[in-house]
């Protein structure tokens, strides 16, 4: 049985693509597109896996992730970080913020599915 995935991303085509591929595999997918209140949404929805974009309106994914990692309720939540910039410094920032995995856009459907499966608690 697949679990719950929360996608925090502001690009509608990416939200649609990720939602489609995960739903097709049996995941329950919720989406949110604003960085400002993203940490609250994560806490209230308590997903099994979080897919978090770096560049969001209101607040960066790095800031959101640092906040989540500082909270006992979300410190161990598996997080797949998405970014349009794939330089090594972006990867390092994601790792320092506490990302479980890092993926650059564009990505393949298979990559996202594999990453979510790998991150999901058994």
Only one residue has tokens 């979300």, namely: 74
Measured in degrees and rounded to the nearest 5, phi and psi for residue 103 equal: -140, 135
Q: pTM for the whole thing?
A: 0.96
List domains and CATH numbers for the chain: 4-119 (3.40.50.2300)
pLDDT at 32: 98
| pLDDT tens column, 76-114 | 999 999 998 878 898 899 999 999 999 999 999 999 999
DSSP letter (8 states) at residue 39: H
């Amino acid at each position: 049985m697949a679990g719950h995935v929360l996608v925090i991303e502001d690009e509608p085509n990416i939200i649609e693509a990720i939602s489609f591929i995960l739903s097709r595999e049996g995941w329950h997918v919720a989406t949110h597109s604003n960085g400002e209140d993203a940490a609250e949404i994560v806490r209230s929805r308590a997903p099994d896996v979080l897919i978090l974009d770096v560049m969001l309106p209101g607040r960066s994914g790095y800031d959101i992730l640092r906040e989540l990692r500082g909270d006992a309720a979300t410190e161990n939540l598996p997080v797949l970080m998405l970014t349009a910039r794939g330089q090594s410094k972006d990867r390092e920032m994601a790792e320092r913020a506490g990302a479980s995995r890092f993926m650059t856009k564009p990505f393949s459907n298979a990559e996202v599915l594999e990453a979510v499966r790998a991150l999901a608690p058994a």
